[in-house]
Amino acid sequence: MNNALTAPSLCGAFRNRFKIGAAITGRMTDDPDYRALIRRHFSSITAENGMKPEKLLDREATLQKGDPIRPAFHFSPADQMLSFARENEIAVRFHTLAWHNQTPRWFFAKNWDNAPDAPLAAPEVMLARLEAYIQGVMEHVNSQYPGTVYAWDVVNEAIEPDQGGPGCYRTKSLWYQTLGESFVPAAFRAARKHQAPGQKLFYNDYSTFVPAKKEALTALLQKLRADNLVDGMGMQAHLQWDKMDIAACEQAARAFGNLGLTLHITEMDIHCPFRDEAHQAQLAQCYRDYFDMLLRLNREGYDVESVSFWGVTDADTWLTYFRKEGSWPLLFTGDKDVKPAFDAVLEAAKRRI
């Protein structure tokens, strides 16, 4: 097998098509082998967890500050990654501003109360906190690391048809419970105010290929687009090797693209609980078909700008925990060798589609 550190550069092969990215952790930026691998193969990075609200919010300092609206931040983990990106001229997708997960409950509570059943803050307080949070993060990043972030995931996973509700909003989200569906345009309005020139604002979600979800997302994006609040759609692409429906993925991408949105594949992995040669060859085929589809869309004029994998090697995939079984879903082995899936993606770049 070919070692990842000497194999042809993946992002180099896609240079004229789209950025190739990966979700990374702080541990990786401290590790010389990971640093070299990331530099070689990726032209975009996303913090797998390091830029989420739970990582940026500092409750102790917020309480000390005594401001009921503006929280205090600790930016050092995010800064470490932003510095790595800047030093290596790698573009950053910022993930994520408004999300129901990995945002501490106290952020939604009256008086920043940490008790699990503390009363939620009033809607006008939450609206002001949402704006203050977005302003605080965007001002920090754009003043300290100008030109580093090219895309912001402004709202993540607001829609979930399984939860019913008008418009299919995820009703259990504390953003929804405090502000209703208005939190979505409010977040985008705040981000518009504080974005730097050239940055694009994204809505990001999973299972975008499921017809009911695609419809609900299209309706939401259409409204946001009409008010010029959104620039791009992030399709997470957490897929499974035995349940691939590329045609459905393509239809969703076309639906979002037809709204005039830039398309990012933001969190690609293809769950495969088998590491043997035959299954890994099938995984490679899944990646080949998916990339062929993206390249075809690009050729037709759809603005597929960036494709990111959710993790770097099979040793650091989140799927092992999420699926509660082994998973070998990515392009590099835990030993940082390239896999058949790597060759398949590389070859897709060379095919004239």
User: Residue 62, interface with ligand XIL (CB under 6 A)?
Assistant: no
User: Residue 305, interface with ligand XIL (CB under 6 A)?
Assistant: no
- Which of these, 46, 57, 143, lies nearest to 98 by C-alpha position? 57
User: Residue 160, interface with ligand XIL (CB under 6 A)?
Assistant: no
CA pair distance 236, 263, nearest whole angstrom: 11
181 or 267: whose CB is closer to ligand XIL?
267
The CA-atom distances, in angstroms, between 317 and each of 235, 267, 273, 281, 331 are: 18, 11, 12, 19, 11
48 or 314: whose CB is closer to ligand XIL?
48
Helices 211-226 and 183-194 pack at an angle, to 10 degrees, of 50
Cα 48–chain centre separation: 8
16 or 321: whose CB is closer to ligand XIL?
321
23 or 346: whose CB is closer to ligand XIL?
23
Q: What is the contact mask toward ligand XIL in residues 264 to 283, using x (rule: CB under 6 A)?
A: ---x----------------
User: Residue 80, interface with ligand XIL (CB under 6 A)?
Assistant: no
User: Residue 156, interface with ligand XIL (CB under 6 A)?
Assistant: yes
CB of 96 to ligand XIL, least distance (A): 6
CB of 154 to ligand XIL, least distance (A): 13
267 or 305: whose CB is closer to ligand XIL?
267
How many binding residues for ligand XIL (CB under 6 A)?
7
Give yes or no for a contact between 304 and 298, defined as CB atoms under 8 angstroms apart: yes
User: Residue 236, interface with ligand XIL (CB under 6 A)?
Assistant: yes
Q: Decide: helix, strand or coil at residue 49.
A: coil
User: Residue 49, interface with ligand XIL (CB under 6 A)?
Assistant: yes
* Residues that are catalytic: 157, 267
Query: In 10 A of CB 162, how many CB atoms?
Result: 10
CB of 153 to ligand XIL, least distance (A): 8
Report the site for ligand XIL in 193-232 (rule: CB under 6 A).
206
User: Residue 48, interface with ligand XIL (CB under 6 A)?
Assistant: yes
102 or 258: whose CB is closer to ligand XIL?
102
Give yes or no for a contact between 137 and 97, defined as CB atoms under 8 angstroms apart: yes
CB of 349 to ligand XIL, least distance (A): 26
User: Residue 318, interface with ligand XIL (CB under 6 A)?
Assistant: yes
CA pair distance 208, 107, nearest whole angstrom: 28
Report the site for ligand XIL in 104-143 (rule: CB under 6 A).
none
- Which of these, 243, 170, 250, lies nearest to 208 by C-alpha position? 250
Q: What is the contact mask toward ligand XIL in residues 8 to 47, using x (rule: CB under 6 A)?
A: ----------------------------------------
Q: Which residues contact 44 (CB under 8 A, 6 or more apart)?
A: 11, 19, 20, 21, 22, 90, 91, 92, 93, 150, 306, 308
Angle, CA 84 vertex, CA 194 and CA 267 arms, to 5°: 70
Using CB atoms, what's the residue nearest to ligand XIL? 318
Q: Decide: helix, strand or coil at residue 350.
A: helix
- Helix (H), strand (E) at residue 37: helix 32-41
7 or 78: whose CB is closer to ligand XIL?
78
User: Residue 313, interface with ligand XIL (CB under 6 A)?
Assistant: no
CA pair distance 56, 141, nearest whole angstrom: 12
Q: 256-274 burial string, b = 16+ CB within 10 Å, else e? A: bbeeebbbbbbbbbbbbbe
Q: With the C-alpha atoms ordered 80, 31, 325, 307, is the resulting torsion angle positive or negative?
A: positive
**Residues near ligand XIL (CB under 6 A):** 48-49, 156, 206, 236, 267, 318
